[in-house]
Amino acid sequence: MSRIGKKPVPVPQGVTANVEGQVVTAKGPKGELQFVVNDDVLVKLEDGAISVDPRDQSKLARSKWGMSRTQIANILNGVKDGFERRLEINGVGYRAAMQGKNLQLSLGFSHEVSYEPPAGITITVPKPTEIVVSGIDKQVVGQVAAEIRKYRGPEPYKGKGVKYADETIVRKEGKKK
Protein backbone atom coordinates (compact mmCIF):
# COMPACT_ATOMS: atom_id res chain seq x y z
CA MET A 1 0.00 0.00 0.00
CA SER A 2 1.28 3.42 -0.95
CA ARG A 3 1.52 5.71 2.07
CA ILE A 4 1.78 8.76 -0.17
CA GLY A 5 -1.02 7.62 -2.49
CA LYS A 6 -3.52 7.20 0.37
CA LYS A 7 -3.43 10.90 1.28
CA PRO A 8 -5.77 13.13 -0.74
CA VAL A 9 -4.16 16.22 -2.32
CA PRO A 10 -5.75 19.39 -0.90
CA VAL A 11 -6.43 22.10 -3.48
CA PRO A 12 -4.77 25.30 -2.17
CA GLN A 13 -6.65 28.58 -1.93
CA GLY A 14 -6.42 30.64 -5.09
CA VAL A 15 -6.09 27.53 -7.28
CA THR A 16 -8.94 26.00 -9.28
CA ALA A 17 -8.60 22.31 -10.03
CA ASN A 18 -10.67 20.32 -12.51
CA VAL A 19 -10.79 16.56 -13.15
CA GLU A 20 -12.22 15.38 -16.48
CA GLY A 21 -11.75 11.66 -16.94
CA GLN A 22 -8.00 11.08 -16.60
CA VAL A 23 -6.96 14.73 -17.15
CA VAL A 24 -6.25 16.90 -14.09
CA THR A 25 -6.09 20.64 -14.85
CA ALA A 26 -4.92 23.29 -12.36
CA LYS A 27 -5.14 27.04 -12.85
CA GLY A 28 -3.56 29.49 -10.43
CA PRO A 29 -1.88 32.89 -10.15
CA LYS A 30 1.34 31.68 -11.85
CA GLY A 31 -0.33 29.93 -14.81
CA GLU A 32 -2.05 26.75 -15.89
CA LEU A 33 -0.80 23.13 -15.96
CA GLN A 34 -2.37 19.80 -16.72
CA PHE A 35 -1.43 16.19 -16.08
CA VAL A 36 -2.83 13.09 -17.78
CA VAL A 37 -3.12 10.31 -15.21
CA ASN A 38 -2.41 6.72 -16.25
CA ASP A 39 -5.48 4.53 -16.95
CA ASP A 40 -4.54 2.16 -14.09
CA VAL A 41 -5.26 4.92 -11.57
CA LEU A 42 -8.65 6.41 -10.65
CA VAL A 43 -8.82 10.17 -9.90
CA LYS A 44 -11.69 11.97 -8.13
CA LEU A 45 -12.24 15.58 -7.01
CA GLU A 46 -14.16 15.52 -3.72
CA ASP A 47 -14.80 18.45 -1.31
CA GLY A 48 -11.69 20.50 -2.11
CA ALA A 49 -9.25 17.60 -2.41
CA ILE A 50 -8.14 15.28 -5.21
CA SER A 51 -8.02 11.61 -4.24
CA VAL A 52 -6.07 9.00 -6.17
CA ASP A 53 -6.74 5.23 -6.00
CA PRO A 54 -5.54 2.22 -7.98
CA ARG A 55 -8.24 0.62 -10.18
CA ASP A 56 -7.19 -2.87 -9.07
CA GLN A 57 -4.49 -4.46 -6.92
CA SER A 58 -2.14 -5.32 -9.79
CA LYS A 59 1.54 -4.47 -9.40
CA LEU A 60 1.36 -2.00 -12.32
CA ALA A 61 -1.59 -0.08 -10.85
CA ARG A 62 -0.03 0.10 -7.39
CA SER A 63 3.30 1.28 -8.82
CA LYS A 64 1.65 4.21 -10.64
CA TRP A 65 -0.55 5.20 -7.70
CA GLY A 66 1.88 7.15 -5.49
CA MET A 67 3.65 8.79 -8.42
CA SER A 68 0.35 10.04 -9.87
CA ARG A 69 -0.53 11.61 -6.53
CA THR A 70 2.88 13.31 -6.35
CA GLN A 71 2.58 14.65 -9.92
CA ILE A 72 -0.84 16.14 -9.09
CA ALA A 73 0.55 17.71 -5.90
CA ASN A 74 3.42 19.19 -7.95
CA ILE A 75 1.15 20.85 -10.52
CA LEU A 76 -1.04 22.31 -7.76
CA ASN A 77 2.03 23.65 -5.94
CA GLY A 78 3.56 24.91 -9.20
CA VAL A 79 0.62 27.06 -10.30
CA LYS A 80 0.38 28.55 -6.81
CA ASP A 81 4.02 29.15 -5.79
CA GLY A 82 6.27 27.86 -8.59
CA PHE A 83 9.58 26.05 -8.24
CA GLU A 84 13.19 27.19 -8.32
CA ARG A 85 16.58 25.51 -8.47
CA ARG A 86 19.80 27.28 -7.48
CA LEU A 87 23.18 26.54 -9.06
CA GLU A 88 26.62 27.67 -7.91
CA ILE A 89 29.74 28.12 -10.04
CA ASN A 90 33.17 27.46 -8.51
CA GLY A 91 36.50 28.04 -10.25
CA VAL A 92 38.87 30.83 -11.21
CA GLY A 93 37.41 32.76 -14.15
CA TYR A 94 34.17 30.74 -14.15
CA ARG A 95 31.14 33.03 -14.29
CA ALA A 96 27.64 33.46 -15.68
CA ALA A 97 25.80 36.44 -17.15
CA MET A 98 22.50 37.08 -18.89
CA GLN A 99 22.61 38.32 -22.48
CA GLY A 100 19.03 39.14 -23.41
CA LYS A 101 17.08 35.96 -22.62
CA ASN A 102 20.11 33.69 -23.07
CA LEU A 103 22.51 32.58 -20.36
CA GLN A 104 26.21 33.12 -21.16
CA LEU A 105 28.61 30.83 -19.27
CA SER A 106 32.39 31.17 -19.04
CA LEU A 107 33.53 27.75 -17.87
CA GLY A 108 37.18 27.53 -18.87
CA PHE A 109 36.57 26.50 -22.47
CA SER A 110 38.09 28.37 -25.41
CA HIS A 111 34.58 29.73 -26.11
CA GLU A 112 31.63 30.96 -24.09
CA VAL A 113 28.67 28.62 -23.74
CA SER A 114 25.27 30.10 -24.57
CA TYR A 115 22.10 28.46 -23.21
CA GLU A 116 18.61 29.42 -24.40
CA PRO A 117 15.95 28.53 -21.81
CA PRO A 118 12.71 26.86 -22.97
CA ALA A 119 9.34 28.64 -22.79
CA GLY A 120 8.00 29.08 -19.26
CA ILE A 121 11.43 29.06 -17.60
CA THR A 122 13.07 32.15 -16.11
CA ILE A 123 16.81 32.26 -15.48
CA THR A 124 18.32 34.98 -13.31
CA VAL A 125 21.92 35.65 -12.30
CA PRO A 126 21.99 37.54 -8.96
CA LYS A 127 25.79 37.13 -8.72
CA PRO A 128 28.29 36.08 -11.40
CA THR A 129 28.76 32.78 -9.54
CA GLU A 130 25.08 32.03 -8.87
CA ILE A 131 22.26 30.98 -11.24
CA VAL A 132 18.57 30.71 -10.30
CA VAL A 133 16.27 28.66 -12.56
CA SER A 134 12.54 29.13 -11.85
CA GLY A 135 9.22 28.15 -13.40
CA ILE A 136 5.89 26.48 -12.68
CA ASP A 137 6.68 22.96 -13.96
CA LYS A 138 8.96 21.10 -11.54
CA GLN A 139 10.15 18.59 -14.13
CA VAL A 140 11.20 21.28 -16.65
CA VAL A 141 12.94 23.37 -13.96
CA GLY A 142 14.96 20.34 -12.88
CA GLN A 143 15.77 19.42 -16.48
CA VAL A 144 17.05 22.93 -17.30
CA ALA A 145 19.20 22.98 -14.14
CA ALA A 146 20.63 19.57 -15.05
CA GLU A 147 21.44 20.71 -18.61
CA ILE A 148 23.29 23.79 -17.29
CA ARG A 149 25.19 21.65 -14.75
CA LYS A 150 26.13 19.19 -17.51
CA TYR A 151 28.30 21.76 -19.34
CA ARG A 152 30.93 21.53 -16.60
CA GLY A 153 29.97 19.30 -13.67
CA PRO A 154 31.88 19.61 -10.40
CA GLU A 155 35.14 17.71 -10.28
CA PRO A 156 36.18 15.92 -7.07
CA TYR A 157 39.72 17.30 -6.60
CA LYS A 158 39.26 21.07 -6.40
CA GLY A 159 35.45 21.27 -6.67
CA LYS A 160 35.58 23.39 -9.83
CA GLY A 161 32.48 23.48 -12.05
CA VAL A 162 28.73 24.03 -11.82
CA LYS A 163 26.93 22.39 -8.89
CA TYR A 164 23.52 22.57 -7.25
CA ALA A 165 23.46 24.92 -4.24
CA ASP A 166 22.35 22.12 -1.89
CA GLU A 167 24.75 19.53 -3.36
CA THR A 168 27.81 18.35 -1.44
CA ILE A 169 30.83 17.31 -3.46
CA VAL A 170 32.78 14.38 -2.03
CA ARG A 171 36.38 15.55 -2.31
CA LYS A 172 39.29 13.27 -3.19
CA GLU A 173 42.83 13.54 -2.01
CA GLY A 174 45.41 14.43 -4.66
CA LYS A 175 48.53 12.49 -5.63
CA LYS A 176 51.19 12.00 -2.98
CA LYS A 177 54.91 12.19 -3.57
So what's the pLDDT on residue 145?
95
Q: Which residues pair with 53 in a beta bridge?
A: 42
pLDDT single digits (tens) 64-88: 888 999 999 999 999 999 999 999 9
What fold does the segment set 3-80 form as a domain?
Answer: Outer Surface Protein A; domain 3 (3.90.930)
Is the CB of residue 93 less than 8 Å from the CB of residue 109? Answer: no
pLDDT digits (tens, 9 = 90+) for 143-157: 999 999 999 999 999
pTM of this prediction?
0.88
Quick one: pLDDT at residue 3?
78
Contact between 174 and 158 under an 8 Å Cβ cutoff? The reply is no
Pick the CATH number of 83-164 from 3.40.50.300, 3.90.930.12, 1.10.3720.10, 2.60.120.10: 3.90.930.12
Average pLDDT of every residue of the chain: 91
